[in-house]
Amino acid sequence: MANETGGDVLNRAQAEKELFPARGLPGGGQLEVRMEISANHPDPDIRGVARRVKFINLESWHEEWTQVARKNEELAAGFEREQRKLTAHDFYLRAADFYRRAVVYMPDSDPRMLPTFKKLEENFDKAWSVVPPPFERVQIPYEGHLLPALFWPGRGKAGSRLPVVYNYGGADGILLRGEDGGAGQYVRRGMSFIDVDGPGHGGTLRHHKLYAPPDSDRVAKAVVDYLVTRPDVDPERIGLHGSSLGGYSGPRCATGEKRIKAVAVWSGAYNLVDDIFDYYPPIQDRLRWLMGAKDLKEAREKIREFTLIGRAKQIECPLLVGYSRDDRVMDPRGALNLYENAVNSPDRSMVDGVGHGEKRFDRRTYLADWFMKQLKAG
């Protein structure tokens, strides 16, 4: 679709032909709940779930992941009693990740949703209680609320101000995940990283019912207001990474928050009613929930406000738009629309394999390297 410098972008006719072969089929022809896991995965617990779980069955999905989560939680507690703290840490994180998988597709109407999410939080907290965490837990003021966040300090000289990358997650974004949620790639390159449980995400949504706003630059302003108060952050070198639904929210942040100096997105989007709501129907109820709509009719009206039509030209910083040609969740034509209309970005480019679907093997390091260049890190 485009080379890595943005000099060879498909035109509209090519986009229709090459990017959307299932044109005319709802959801790009993909109506199943997206529950892919590999029966050949090297992790025995994940491999076991893959072999036992019933296809497109949310009950089976929740049951199988909860079962392996409990097993790992019990193992972690045993290791902690034996004072094997590093091993206990690893297994608590495994349990947290498996509870995350169990809860990720659960609707807000399911009574097990909040208890399962609390088990995720509990195990994540236990993991970082037995070993020192490499991040700081911070609270960011936002319109009368406090947004929880994890701040990972970059590697640099003591007392130096480093660039920072702010992560804006997607529809299934949960702050408490994995070893570092991708932060390590940035920390190693001399950048700090902040992951925020913003409106429509994780515990902010589930505990406090803070819903995602269409004007995500409101959230970005609160985060940047916090970042510029830190003596270890260079206020002139703040980047933003958006993934999945954040492929819309990230660029939207840059339209209003000009202190953001670079934006890279994983599955870029332009107009969410077209690019995800109609393209991938299985996610419609999740979108209804995170926007705070009472039904799908109201959700359709609300999501029309989630658009960069007439706004993409307000992006005035470098922009990297990731996409995947076979993306089943986000219409890759939205990435093309974003790229084409961000006419005032001084350095815009596109890269294939940085989205849902077929992925570049180096996608994580590619984005970190791009930010390293744009923010002059290292």
pTM tops 0.95: no
pLDDT above 60 (res 251): yes
| pLDDT for res 280 | 86
Please indicate whether residue 24 or residue 370 has the higher confidence score (pLDDT).
Answer: 370
Q: How confident is the model at residue 21 (pLDDT cuts 50, 70, 90)?
A: very low
Q: What CA–CA distances, in Å, run from 365 to 111, 164, 188, 348? A: 39, 16, 11, 18
Other C-beta atoms lying within 10 Å of the C-beta of residue 32: 11
| pLDDT for res 327 | 84
| pLDDT for res 181 | 64
Q: What CA–CA distances, in Å, run from 150 to 50, 86, 194, 218, 347? A: 31, 21, 6, 19, 29
Q: What percent of the chain has pLDDT over 70?
A: 88
| pLDDT for res 30 | 36
pLDDT above 60 (res 5): no
According to DSSP, the residues that pair with 322 across neighbouring strands are 351
| pLDDT for res 363 | 81
pLDDT above 80 (res 180): no
| pLDDT for res 6 | 42
Q: What is the mean pLDDT of residues 235-241?
A: 97
| pLDDT for res 329 | 86
With 0-12 / 13-18 / 19 or more C-beta atoms within 10 angstroms meaning exposed / middle / buried, residue 249 is buried
Q: What is the mean pLDDT of residues 215-233?
A: 98
- Rounded to 5°, the CA angle 358-360-365 comes to 145
Whole-number average pLDDT of the chain: 88
Is 251 within 8 Å of 242 (Cβ atoms)?
yes
Is 311 within 8 Å of 248 (Cβ atoms)?
no
Is 328 within 8 Å of 361 (Cβ atoms)?
no
Is 176 within 8 Å of 120 (Cβ atoms)?
yes
**12-33+134-374 in CATH: which number?**
3.40.50.1820
Q: What percent of the chain has pLDDT over 90?
A: 69
| pLDDT for res 32 | 42
> For residue 178, what are its two tokens?
């994995």
| pLDDT for res 19 | 47
Where exactly does CATH 1.20.1440.110 map onto the chain?
A: 44-127
Supply the DSSP symbol for 343. Answer: T
d(CA 300, CA 316): 30
| pLDDT for res 360 | 75
Please indicate whether residue 89 or residue 358 has the higher confidence score (pLDDT).
Answer: 89
Which residues are CB-contacts of 10 (< 8 A; sequence separation ≥ 6)? Answer: 1, 2, 18, 19, 336
Q: What is the mean pLDDT of residues 251-256?
A: 98
Task: Give tens-digit pLDDT for 299-343.
Answer: 999 999 999 999 999 999 999 999 988 888 899 999 999 999 999
d(CA 125, CA 130): 9
What is the residue whose two structure tokens read 């299985």? 282
Where exactly does CATH 3.40.50.1820 map onto the chain?
A: 12-33+134-374
Q: How confident is the model at residue 13 (pLDDT cuts 50, 70, 90)?
A: low
156 three-class SS: coil
> For residue 71, what are its two tokens?
């097993």
Which residues are CB-contacts of 303 (< 8 A; sequence separation ≥ 6)? Answer: 272, 273, 277, 287, 291
d(CA 72, CA 74): 5
d(CA 42, CA 159): 42
The whole-angstrom distance between residue 129's C-alpha and the CA centroid of its chain comes to: 25
Task: Give tens-digit pLDDT for 132-173.
Answer: 999 999 999 999 999 999 999 998 888 899 999 999 988 777
| pLDDT for res 2 | 45
| pLDDT for res 51 | 87
Q: Where are the beta strands (DSSP E) in the chain?
A: 136-142, 145-152, 162-168, 192-196, 233-243, 260-266, 319-323, 348-352
> For residue 65, what are its two tokens?
């992941």
Domain 44-127: what homologous superfamily? acylaminoacyl peptidase (1.20.1440.110)
pLDDT above 50 (res 188): yes
160 three-class SS: coil
| pLDDT for res 357 | 67
In this predicted structure, which of 29-33, 52-56, 131-135 has the lowest mean pLDDT?
29-33
Pairing mode, strands 136-142 and 145-152? antiparallel
Q: What is the mean pLDDT of residues 57-86?
A: 95
